[in-house]
Chain A
């Protein structure tokens, strides 16, 4: 089925998320939609899928104009979507998830689960998936959950398949398998739209590439383009893809973590006997596929999560068992994973957020009274220094872009006298320009002799930023390796294969 979007425009208030976007996807083609976070890719696909109604423009399938009032219409027309955040119900079985919305019933209104099971097995067999139709989806690994999403789309005979950032939660090997599935679907005559911001994947699998920037199509690129060319097209200027940094100059001060263990409320051991040492002047990147205990590790380091064993010592002093306040006072800087939830108070101004953790004493408060003049002077300085693009220091921080919000967090944390920096996903949802800046500041912090722990699920970032890389899998340390380790080995390690075996593989 041929898909054509003509002049799609979607506005949210004053913001134009999609500005007259044209897109043509032929059957048997993988069409890549490349763009930064916030460029409007997901909005466009939500329009296509009937979740949003376009303000202007039309959707054509095989030349016929479509009117979608909801996802039901889009599915009926043959459009299937593999969502970035899986649209699966964790407490339902695979079969129930697949049948949901187009259930077959037997006499008396009973659900025909057998038919659904057969359908799941049939599609799974066609693609060599190993999926048990009666498994609860919540018990399955994310890679398998994604296959359930694919089966769900295919069970409705989708002829146009949209993959929205499908690789974010996958190991590199799982990504390769997904690419193989996509090629196979393509050979079966499906039209595939592949949304991503990862250049490597684009070049590997795309037949055609459309680049979107700030809601507009800025051009087409061929799969033979280099990373630098694609990045430049995506961002609108030449981009430094590597982080300029010298060799590490380790200093004796260090963060020492011994046998750290964290148990989550359900009793699962999410951080299991983790030990490592980071010296001053060194960046250790904790890598791994999302959900393998990195978040919990970072939270445990800074006292945001109760631990069930082990020790965390900074320059010889134990940090575990201390309150977050005491940890901060010990000189630990925290860049939390979810800045809008944990890093900032959205309704507070830029200035207020910049001193959020320092309002209980001098110099920003005296006798319980905030020193507003001093705060504002400090805020203006930091806005300048960190190149925070804001209308003013009184602007609520929630109105800033992701990148500028992250700069506010970073500015606050780095303006204290640091002895350790823990940064979780410091560049998630941040534009490329800000990424460069944030990376530079992290490297500067390292060069000032501070131990730095960065948690990242992006292999590119891990390799670019880290001096050493600690790979986590299911809460355990698979290995700590130099950043020069090959990506294939790192990828295997992210799937739980230790380096020695990964080297052999």
Chain B
């Protein structure tokens, strides 16, 4: 037996230089937003105090309301945000990525600072519990949409049709929920409807290898048209029978719901919200810790390699897309069996596209994507919050906010991100 000669170590040529490039985008974007807030506070000063109400009537422990001088608090938040930005810059200089915690803290500071400024001098107070709870509620369809997006793209199929799947889910949940008078049946119908849209997506992109983006866009238009047509032709004439669901009622979870602030906001919700809490870690576990997830990611990264170890690429992708569609459909049910009790034309209003942004913002990771979706939910919720205190910000601007946040997030804060290598590419067997 020949001994394997160890290969000579290339000692003389010292290891190749490798300069780690960490994107500065996150820092730049943070600095810009902090500066914008500072400008706002400086140019339009508000006097008076802002009060935050932390408790609701049913709380076991009641936290007293907090009234702070609005302008001063806003400045404190600006300064802290600047410090956090500086910390980001430091970590980038050291060649490290910006930690997720810093970004989260920054987002929180900016929101608090803005609220303190906006609410200063108002005689009404911010109901913090309702703000947090409302953000979570608005985020629900986005979170489910983003989870579906993550699953699809990890398997190599870009799911642009999230919007369509949400809408199909909402519609089916409304109709089936009304007919059966059971929100549970509506939920199941929504899952099936989402999967059905996904099946069409799969048929065209996986089997017929049509461009995934085009099929996704077309599906969205198709579902919008179809549901709008059926709504005006079928649902409106017999709204009582077909379009009035009984909603899930909020269920308080013992103990957890008694936690101050967080409890009532997060744990006095309906079952769909609890499903969301479970879905995020469940999808994470499935993707990273199970055979299904390993094969799914393999197929999204290097389908040919997966093929050569005997994994059926097409079948794996179909399964992933169907599961993704089901998850998104579940999010769609939120509109008609949790939020309101009837279907309305185009009621998803672009949540599917924001979910798509959350997928990228969250770097194709279910947990990060869900956090991004929460951020977008909070941005949508700000509008409501500001109208409560009668803040001097035009409501149109506030309606714009979630989309501005989305654009900034995707373009800037996310930094350099790399999606699954084979996302968007149909697998053609030679």
A residues adjacent to B (C-beta < 8 A): 46, 49, 51-52, 70-73, 75-76, 81, 83, 86-92, 96, 99-103, 105, 109-111, 127-128, 143, 152, 171, 173-174, 176-177, 180-181, 183-184, 187, 263, 266-269, 272, 473-476, 478, 492, 495-498, 501, 505
Contact = CB atoms under 8 A, between A and B. Distances in A.
B7 A495 contact: yes
B58 interface: no
Nearest to A143: B7
Interface of B: 1-5, 7-8, 10, 12-13, 15-21, 289-292, 294-295, 297-298, 301-302, 304-312, 421, 429-430
B391 to A, nearest CB: 44
12 contacts: A86-B305, A87-B304, A88-B305, A89-B298, A90-B421, A110-B290, A177-B5, A180-B5, A268-B16, A268-B19, A496-B10, A496-B12
The list of the 5 closest CB pairs from A to B, nearest first, reads A72-B310, A496-B10, A101-B309, A267-B21, A474-B16
B7 A51 contact: no
A100 B309 contact: yes
Given A92-B298, A111-B290, A180 B2 contact: yes
A497 B12 contact: yes
Contact of B17 (A173, A269, A501, A505): A269
A240 to B, nearest CB: 34
A381 to B, nearest CB: 38
Contact of B310 (A70, A110, A180): A70
Contacts of B3: 180
A49 B308 contact: yes
Contact of A75 (B7, B305, B309, B312): B309
Contact of B13 (A109, A152, A498): A498
Interface SS, B side: loop
If over half of A's interface residues share one DSSP class (helix, strand or loop), that class is named, otherwise mixed; here it is mixed
Given A86-B305, A100-B309, A473-B10, 13 more contacts: A81-B308, A87-B302, A87-B308, A92-B297, A100-B306, A101-B306, A111-B290, A111-B294, A128-B4, A180-B4, A266-B21, A474-B13, A474-B15
Contacts of B297: 89, 91-92
Contact of B8 (A102, A183, A474, A495): A495
Contacts of A184: 1-2
A110 B291 CA distance: 7
A81 B304 CA distance: 14
B307 to A, nearest CB: 6
B291 A75 contact: no
A100 B7 CA distance: 29
A73 B3 CA distance: 34
B154 to A, nearest CB: 11
Contacts of A495: 7-8, 10
Contacts of A111: 289-291, 294
Given A109-B290, A180-B2, A497 B10 contact: yes
A492 B298 contact: no
Contacts of B309: 71-72, 75, 87, 100-102, 152
